[in-house]
Structure 1
Amino acid sequence: MRRGDPGDGPHPQGDPRRERARQDRQPGAEGREVAVSRRSENLLLTTLVLLTTLTAVASSLGAPLVPSVAADFDVRLTTAQWSLTAALLAGAVSTPVVGRFASGRLRRPTILAGLATVTLGMVLATAAVPLGSFGLLVAARAMQGVGLALLPLAIAVARDEMTGERLARAVALLSVTTVAGAGLGYPLTALVAEVGGLAAAYLFGAALTAASWLMAWRFVPQAPTLEGARVDWSGAVGLSAAMLAALLAVSQGEVWGWTSPRTLALGVAGLVGLVAWVAWTLRRPHPLVDLRLAVRPGIAAPNLVAPIAGLGMYSLLTLVVVLVRADGPGFGLGMSVLVAGTVLVPYALMSVLGNQLARVVAARVGPAVLLPTGCLMFLGATLALAVWHDHLWQALAVMALGGAGSGFTFSSLAVLMVPHVPAAETGSAMAFNQVLRYLGFTVGSALSVALMAAYGGGGAGFRAALLTIASVWVVAGVGAVLLDRRVPV
């Protein structure tokens, strides 16, 4: 039975939080029942955090390993980038469909099936390395990206099973786990790859996701409603095709030429496809994504910041790895894949600390400052890396600042949205925000390398790419302030 949501009206039997506190003070059966309930909630939250964190670790088996993929499979760096981009694209494509199952009887089976798909993808990637099949590796990485679609389901589970301050803490923590998991996963997978090679890194990921499946099977409950989910499969196919065309143009433009017919045709097809998908969605009685809900006050600002934050974040992470691994004349630190992964540890740690600090700031100042503050921190980190990138300590300091910005930004998105979203639409609304974020991730991972090459490569190209990317944070910060001033209806 669903326990309640933040923002619900008064309960006929009083505030459930006060009632629970009163029961905690009473000895006997009622107090023991509440203690058991609290332990169950703690086990559930631990499971959801591990689920989202470990799938993020598994899906992040990309950025530090891209140079190694290029060397092992004898492909260009821009081509090897697809070992990261494929996972992010698959996450973006599968998230809206998976999000539609968040409130129906298929939620638990979808979580288990998603984790099984990621695990199989890890096994196939392990096999692709000795076979030397880059195509199989990209397909396996796409399967692994399905794990990124599980976050909206985890948030929907938390909303059904928790209430009050515990729910707010759970949503904030779950929102930042994908970011922190990626940052912590980089050094772990880089260490495994350094010792045992690419195949060992993917095998390590398979073990993590298999453990996540076991915990989810044991502790994730069924959804409280048996109503079946309605999915607009035509809209899902149209959205997938449009995104694939647009992202192919962005990621391969440097290889094919930015003015080549193939690049221009795919770019135009992607944009036209997205416009057609929006028109189709607005006419559907049960759309894949409720776009009218997505632009309401309280929801519009997080939805604006999500893609820009995703683009800026992955551009920053990708380019710092390029800096650490590069060993060219006058540019690069020339360090190992292990160091490239370790340089992201401050980012992951500060993401978690930034999440905690954001909660304190929101309580004392108000939530309106969270997104602009996060954008400002990211802007500072991007500009700092553009100017100072001659020593490892500079990269570490930049990652710490970016991590703090990540904690403010990504943990705030869901927290700001949930009070304005109907309970039945939680999964779908969170899924759309995730789609925007993953589109930003995908564009950022591909565009950052392409921008650097377009600007001539080396130190000059590195600096120019970062300065270009820094400009988007100004747009995100200003947009978050302006949209937040609208009066809710």
Structure 2
Amino acid sequence: MSRRPVPQVGGTPSRALLPTLALLTTITAVVSSLGAPLVPSVATAYDVRLGTAQWSLTAALLAGAVATPVVGRFASGRLRRPTILVGLGVVTLGTVVSAVSAALEQGFGVLVAGRALQGVGMALLPLAIAVARDALAHERQDRAIALLSVTTVAGAGLGYPVTALVAQLGGLGAAYALGTAMTGLTWLLAWRHLPGSADETPARVDWWGALLLSAAMLAVLLAVSEGEVWGWGSPRTLGLAAAGLAGLVVWVRVTLRSPAPLVDLRLATRPGVAAPNLVAAVAGLGMYALLTLVVVLVRADEPGFGLDRSVLVAGLILVPYSLMSVLGNQLARVVRRRLGPRWLLPTGCSMFLAATLGLGLFHDHLWQALLAMALGGAGSGFTFSSLAVLMVPHVPRAETGSAVAFNQVLRYLGFTVGSALSVALVAAYGGGDGGFTAALLTLTAVWVVAGVGAVLLDRPPLSRAAPSP
């Protein structure tokens, strides 16, 4: 039987290439975010507290943060296509593990392990952007990069109500089984339409750096998520936090000295790249904190706090977020064309700030939560679709994958911290309505930091004095 030839970058791209890339980034976003609307259901099904159940989401985000630079380094040249296919296979395996765990009640640890495998899919976005840059040209390239950047946001929002409906009708196992079907279909399309790459030698992967980064982040997140149970001043909490922060410092020092670092930290501070990287980290934290807390609000049924709605409503609450993220992407293109790129990041951060502040102050009715989600979605689409577009012109073509991958790492680390920190903040402030409001007001400050930082880092360097005539 003859084997279908693999299309190569440099030839005429298939018409199905961009839809395939968009489906790839959308489905992996849907699967990676399966935990958010299901967290309260996981807490009930496995008889764990809400902060512990949050690891069904945090594990996927942490895995995505660590896998992204590893996959980005490994998947250069001729290995890009097979890496994408293997990555989709790992995600599919993760959905199977989680579905079996949920259906047969095999234990919370098995569920979390499956969710971690699903998080590998988050590492495929930089590869999809690299494929688009190689295969498409000029204006189609810019539009494709912006589209792929925002599909992760839109995919999460659209996936929430679908998976929530399936979970309500068929249970947690059915929701993860749906993820298996979606990733399997995506794998088939990727195998059919993804082009091969140039015959280049793959970059060396700093496996020790990846291990150190994951261990350090895990220690910090355990301290944040479990501090309420262990005690915020207990030796275990403080020891893990200190060890994690020390590990991150060591990782930075080792990375700066390495001839083949996991991520190029020097590239991350170049003009035109530093501002998008700062906003990626801070916006990731604020975005996932907002998404996590709105689900907590909708599902909660406490005296004086919570809307006491079903998991389906918790999923539907994010539909405005998803739809408005697509509109935010289009609005960003208009602003960039008419006012210039310097307005993009501060404007997106301002939209997010308004959504976070609004939800913190007004959350007694469902329509208020829907309005906050719509505004947050516009800010999300506006901000995240701008990051790669702003960065790509400032990095060499050969460094595109590395630069975008590091930006994704910062975003995913922000996602991970926001996922764990949001619930911990509510508990630290005493829980209930007061804790919810105080947590969101605290998180509002991150948008001030992001907006001001974007303006300061985007300032052009002082020009040299003009020579005398």
1:284 equivalent to 2:282? Answer no
Deviation of 1:488 after TM superposition, in Å, equals 9.6
- Report the alpha carbon displacement of residue 131 of structure 1 after superposing the two structures with TM: 3.0
- 1-structure distance, mates of 2:39, 2:91: 19
What is the aligned partner in structure 2 of residue 124 from structure 1? 97
Q: Residues 208 and 371 (structure 1 numbering): CA distance in 2 closer, same or farther, change over 3 Å? A: same
Match of 1:213 in 2: 187
CA drift of 1:130 comes to 3.1
Query: Pick from 309, 315, 336: which aligns with 2:289?
Result: 315
Q: Distance in 2 between matches of 1:276 and 1:296?
A: 22
Does the alignment pair 1:140 with 2:111? Answer: no
Once the two structures are overlaid, the 10-residue window that deviates more, 347-356 or 278-287, is 278-287
- Pick from 88, 93, 98 the counterpart of residue 115 of structure 1: 88
Match of residue 437 from structure 1: 411
CA distance in 1, matches of 2:162, 2:180: 14
In 2, Cα distance between the equivalents of 1:142 and 1:282? 28
1:138 Cα deviation (Å)?
0.4
CA distance in 1, matches of 2:408, 2:462: 23
Aligned to 1:336: 310
2:54 to 78, 81, 93: 81
Structure 1 residue 2: deviation in Å? 5.5
Partner of 1:94: 67
Aligned to 2:436: 462
In 1: Cα distance, 2:417 partner to 2:430 partner = 20
Q: Residue 258 of structure 1 aligns with which residue?
A: 232
What letter corresponds to residue 143 of structure 1 in structure 2?
Answer: L
1:160–1:224: 8 Å Cα contact kept in structure 2?
A: no
1:296–1:488 contact (8 Å) kept in structure 2:
no
Could you say if the C-alpha distance between residues 486 and 268 of structure 1 is closer, same or farther in structure 2, counting changes exceeding 3 Å? farther
For residue 14 of structure 1, what is the aligned residue in structure 2?
none
Structure 1 unaligned spans of 5+:
4-35
Cα distance in 1 for residues equivalent to 2:221 and 2:397:
33
Pick aligned residue for 1:295 from 261, 269, 278: 269
2:207 is aligned with 1:272: no
Runs of 5+ unmatched residues, structure 2: 1-7, 464-469
CA–CA distance in structure 2, aligned partners of residues 487 and 185 of structure 1: 43
Corresponding residue for 1:355?
329
Identity %: 75
Paired residues, number:
455
Q: Where does residue 173 of structure 2 map in the other structure?
A: 199
> In the alignment, what sits opposite 1:410?
384
**1:229-252 Cα deviation digits (max 9, x unpaired):** 221122112212111111211222
Conserved 8 A contact 2:103-2:172:
no
Q: Deviations over 1:307-342 (max 9, x none)?
A: 110010001001110111011111111000000000
Q: CA deviation at 1:89?
A: 0.5
Which residue of 2 is the match for residue 67 of structure 1?
A: 40
1:121-180 Cα offsets, whole Å, 9 max, x none, are 111111101332111000000000000110000001011101111000001011111111
RMSD (Å) for aligned C-alpha atoms: 1.3
Give the match for residue 487 of structure 1. Answer: 461
Counterpart in 2 of 1:25? none
How many angstroms does 1:43 deviate by?
1.0
Q: What is the distance in 2 between the residues matched to 1:437 and 1:41?
A: 30
Alignment pair present for 1:383 and 2:369: no
| Deviating 4+ runs (over 3 angstroms) | none
Q: What is the CA distance between 1:266 and its match in structure 2?
A: 1.0
Counterpart Cα distance in 1 of 2:188 and 2:103: 29
Q: Deviations over 1:6-44 (max 9, x none)?
A: xxxxxxxxxxxxxxxxxxxxxxxxxxxxxx93xx44311
* 3-state DSSP of counterpart to 1:335: coil
Tell me whether 1:106 sits opposite 2:82 in the alignment.
no
Residue identity matched to 1:407: G
SS at match of 1:486: coil
1:171 to 127, 131, 145: 145
Distance between the aligned counterparts of 1:406 and 1:98, measured in 2? Answer: 25
User: TM-score by structure 2 length?
Assistant: 0.95
The 1-side partners of 2:55 and 2:202 are apart by 35
**What whole-Å deviation, never above 9, does each CA across 1:89-136 have from its counterpart, x for those lacking one?**
000011110111343221111101110001011111111013321110
- Counterpart AA for 2:52: T
1:474 maps to 2:443: no
Cα distance in 2, alignment partners of residues 469 and 124 from structure 1: 34
- Shift of the alpha carbon at 1:286? 1.5
Give 1:376 deviation, angstroms.
Answer: 0.3
Question: Residue by residue, what CA displacement relative to the aligned partner does 1:49-105 show, whole Å, maximum 9, x if unpaired?
Answer: 000001111111111100100111111111100000000000001111011134322
Task: Give the letter aligned to residue 72 of structure 1.
Answer: A
Secondary structure of the equivalent of 1:229?
Answer: coil
The AA in structure 2 aligned to 1:116 is: G
Instruction: Identify the range of structure 1 (242-251 vs 289-298) with the bigger mean alpha-carbon deviation.
Output: 242-251
Counterpart for residue 133 of structure 2: 159
Q: What residue identity is the alignment partner of 1:474?
A: V
